[in-house]
Amino acid sequence: MGANPDFEPFRLPEEYQDLRSAIRGLAEQEIAPHAKDVDENSRFPEEALAALNESGFNAIHIPEEYGGQGGDSLAAVIVIEEVARVCGSSSLIPAVNKLGTMGLILSGSEELKQEVLPDIAGGKMASYALSEREAGSDAAAMKTRARKDGDDWVINGSKCWITNGGKSEWYTVMAVTDPDAGARGISAFMVNANDEGFRVGGLEHKLGIKGSPTAELYFEDCRVPASRMIGEEGTGFKTALATLDHTRPTIGAQALGLAQGAYDNAVAYVKERRQFGKAIAEFQNTQFMLADMRMKIEAARLMVYTAASNAERGSADRGEKLGLMAAASKAYASDVAMSVTVDAVQLLGGYGFTRDFPLERMMRDAKITQIYEGTNQICRLVMGRQILG
My answer on whether 253 and 384 are in the same domain is yes
Assess if residue 273 is contained within a domain. yes
Give the CATH number, domain containing residue 318.
1.20.140.10
Query: Average pLDDT, whole number, for the chain?
Result: 95
Contacts of 59 (CB under 8 A, 6+ apart): 68, 94, 97, 98, 101, 120, 121
Q: Quick: pLDDT tens for 128-143.
A: 999 999 998 898 899 9
The neighbouring-strand residues paired with 148 are: 153
**N residues, the chain:** 389
% of the chain with per-residue pLDDT over 90: 92
- Supply the DSSP string of 154-190, one letter for each residue: EEEEEEEEEETTTT-SEEEEEEES-TTSGGGGEEEEE
- Enclosing domain of residue 199: 126-233
Count of the separate structural domains present in the chain: 3
Residue 1: what pLDDT?
45
Q: Which of 328, 375, 332, 384 is nearest to 138 (CA)?
A: 375
Q: Is 66:114 a contact under the CB 8 Å cutoff? A: yes
Assess if residue 102 is contained within a domain. yes
**68 pLDDT exceeds 90?**
yes
Give the end of a domain, one of 121, 148, 177: 121
Amino acid at residue number 306: T
Q: Is 282 a known active-site residue?
A: no
Residue 120: what pLDDT?
98
Read off the pLDDT of each residue in 175-189 and give the average, rounded to a whole number: 97
Assess if residue 1 is contained within a domain. no
- Supply the DSSP string of 233-299, one letter for each residue: TT-HHHHHHHHHHHHHHHHHHHHHHHHHHHHHHHHHHHHH-EETTEEGGGSHHHHHHHHHHHHHHHH
Q: Quick: pLDDT tens for 90-115.
A: 999 999 999 999 999 999 999 999 99
% of the chain with per-residue pLDDT over 70: 96
- Decide: residue 268, CB within 10 A, 0-12 exposed, 13-18 middle, 19+ buried: exposed
CA atoms of 253 and 274, how far apart (whole Å): 33
Q: Is 257:82 a contact under the CB 8 Å cutoff? A: yes
Q: Quick: pLDDT tens for 324-343.
A: 999 999 999 999 999 999 99
Read off the pLDDT of each residue in 200-223 and give the average, rounded to a whole number: 97
* The model's pTM: 0.95
Assess if residue 310 is contained within a domain. yes
- Among residues 81, 115, 233, 373, the one annotated as catalytic is 373
My answer on whether 229 and 241 are in the same domain is no
Assess if residue 227 is contained within a domain. yes
Beta strands in 83-151 (DSSP E): 126-129, 145-149
CA atoms of 31 and 84, how far apart (whole Å): 10
Helix (H, G, I), strand (E, B) or coil at 146: strand
Residue 315: what pLDDT?
43
My answer on whether 250 and 352 are in the same domain is yes
Lowest mean pLDDT among 155-164, 219-228, 311-320: 311-320
My answer on whether 255 and 353 are in the same domain is yes
- Name the band, by pLDDT with cuts 50, 70 and 90, for residue 316: very low
Q: Quick: pLDDT tens for 29-60.
A: 999 999 999 999 999 999 999 999 999 999 99
**319 pLDDT exceeds 90?**
no
